[in-house]
Structure 1
Amino acid sequence: MPFFKAVLFDWVGTLIVPKWGPTRGQPRGASWIGSSLRQVGREVSTAEVERVSAALNAAGRRPDVAEGWAGADLSAAAHRENYDRWVNAAGVDRRLAGVMYESLCDATDNQFAVDVEPTLGALKAAGVKVAIVSDIHVDIRPSFAKAGLDTYVDDFVLSFECGACKPDPAVFRTALERLGVQPDEALMVGDRSGHDGAAVEAGLTTLLVPPLTHVTEKRLHLVLATCSVPGL
C-alpha cells in the first residue's frame, strides 16, 4: 500500500527544464535565447547568446527586478510588467524581447523529463492522487495534454488562478482541499527550498531535488521510493 495518498509536484525545474535557468554546459537560457534570435533572423553565435545571457543575468540582480518577481506570477499583467522591467534593464530590444516573451509564455513549448510519464503512470496505477502546484502566469494544462500526461493529473493549482504564490501556505492547503487529503497524507516534490520547501510549514512531507538541467536527468524514482510505489 502506498505510504502517501497524494503527491503534489512543482512544474518548472521539477518536471520540465526551465527556459531561463541552468542548462548543462551552456549559458543560462541558451536554448531559449538562441531560438528567439533565430526567429528574428539574427546571428545565433555562441558569443551573441552569451552576451544576451550575461546582460539578463546582470539585470536580474537589480533590486527592482529581483523584488518584482516575487509576486509576478499572480497575474499575466504583473508577470509582463516585471518581464519588461528585466529585459529593458538588460538592454534587449523590443522585437527580440517580444519573441522571447511569446516563447516564455508558450506552455506547450516544453519537454518533460524522461521519467515524468513512467512516474505519473506508476502513481496513477497505485491509486495515488496527483496535483501540479505551480507559480505560473499562464495555463499549463495544454502542456500536459500535448504530452499525453493530463490523464495522470487530478488537479492543477496555479498561482494566477488561486491568487497566491509559494511559499504562501494557502497554495498547499488549496491543493490538499481539492484532492481531499490531509497534510500528513501528501508529499510535496519540488526544486526550490525557499518556495517548494515551505510546504513543510503546511504540514507536508517535502522532497527537494536539484533543478533539471536536461530532460534526460532522472530523479523521480525518489518519489516512488518515498511513496513505497513500485515503478512500471
Structure 2
Amino acid sequence: MTIKGVLFDFSGTLFRIEPTASWLRAVLAEAGVTLPEPELVRTAERLESAGALAGGALPAGPLPDDLAALWAVRDRSAEAHRAAFTGLSRQVPLPDPELHDALYDRHMTPAAWQPYPDTIEVLGTLRGRGVAVGVVSNIGWDLRPVFREHGADPYVDAYALSYEHGIQKPDTRLFAHACDALGIAPQDTLMVGDEPRADGGAADLGCAVHFVDHRPVTERPDGLRPVLDLIG
C-alpha cells in the first residue's frame, strides 16, 4: 500500500495542552487574583480530577447527572463543548465565578499548547515527500490559530474539526470529510492518533491506523518519527 496522505489527531498527537496548574496560574494572573500556593495546587488538582481542562485528564469519577448527556456530544458544537467543560469546572469553587469562563477561554489560546518536539520536523518531511496532511480533531473551537502561531499551519492541507461538521470521531464521516478535502482515497491514507476508540474509527473507512502515546511533551521527544518509516 502506498500512503499518499496522513491524517493526524490534534491533542496528544501533534500538540499537548499545558499542565493544569499552569493553566490555572495563568488565568489567575491575568485576572489579578492571588491564591496561596498550597491552595492553588489543591484547586488545580480538583480541576484536573473534574476533567475541566479540555485536552487534559478525563473526569476521574462519575459525571454529574446534568452533564452526562452533554459530555457524550461535547465535540459536536462549540456551544456543547463550552457548556460541558465550564460545567465540569464549576464543580470546583473559584474566587470569582467568571474565572470558569476565563479558564475555558485560556485553553483555546496558542499559549496554552505546545507542539511535540518532532511535530514540525515530521510535518515538514511529509510535505517534502509530497504526502498530503490533514488534521482530524474532536474539538469545539477553531484550532487553526494554534497551528499558525507555532509554525505548523503551512504543512497542513486540510482540517476536519468535529464542531464544524456536527459529528465526532469515531464516526467515519469525519475521516471521510478529511480524505475528500485532500482528494485521497481512504485506502491510501494513514490516520495517526492517540486514542484507539476515537481515532481507530478511521480503520472502518479503510484507512491504515497508527497510534502514539499521549504523554507530556518532555517525555515524548520522537514519538511521531516512526510515521515517516511507515510512509516509506
Paired position in structure 2 for 1:62: 62
Equivalent residues, number: 219
Deviation string 1:65-115 (CA, Å, 9 cap, x unpaired) is 354222112222111211232122233441321221110122464221110
**For the structure 1 residues 44 and 202, does the alpha-carbon distance in structure 2 shift closer, same or farther, using more than 3 Å as the test?**
farther
Amino-acid identity (%): 33
> Cα distance, 1:201 vs. partner?
1.4
List gaps (5 residues or longer) in structure 1: 24-28
TM-score, normalised relative to structure 2: 0.85
Q: Does 1:33 align with 2:24?
A: yes
Give 4+ residue runs of structure 1 displaced > 3 Å after superposition. 64-67
Paired position in structure 1 for 2:81: 79
> Cα distance, 1:182 vs. partner?
1.4
List gaps (5 residues or longer) in structure 2: 52-58
TM-score, normalised relative to structure 1: 0.85
> Cα distance, 1:47 vs. partner?
4.7
**For the structure 1 residues 58 and 82, does the alpha-carbon distance in structure 2 shift closer, same or farther, using more than 3 Å as the test?**
closer
Paired position in structure 1 for 2:150: 147
In structure 1, distance between residues paired with 2:36 and 2:131: 45
Highest RCO, 1 vs 2 (Cα 8 Å, sep ≥ 6): 1
Q: Does 1:219 align with 2:223?
A: yes
Deviation string 1:177-197 (CA, Å, 9 cap, x unpaired) is 111111220000011111112
CA contact (8 A) 2:114 2:217 kept: no
- Written as runs of structure 1 = structure 2, the 5 A alignment for 1:1-232 is 3-19=2-18, 29-40=20-31, 41-43=33-35, 45-58=37-50, 60=59, 61-63=61-63, 64=65, 65-92=67-94, 93-107=96-110, 109-214=112-217, 217=220, 218-228=222-232
Q: Give the secondary structure class of the aligned counterpart of 1:14.
A: coil
Q: Give the secondary structure class of the aligned counterpart of 2:223.
A: coil
> Cα distance, 1:143 vs. partner?
1.5
Q: Give the secondary structure class of the aligned counterpart of 2:7.
A: strand
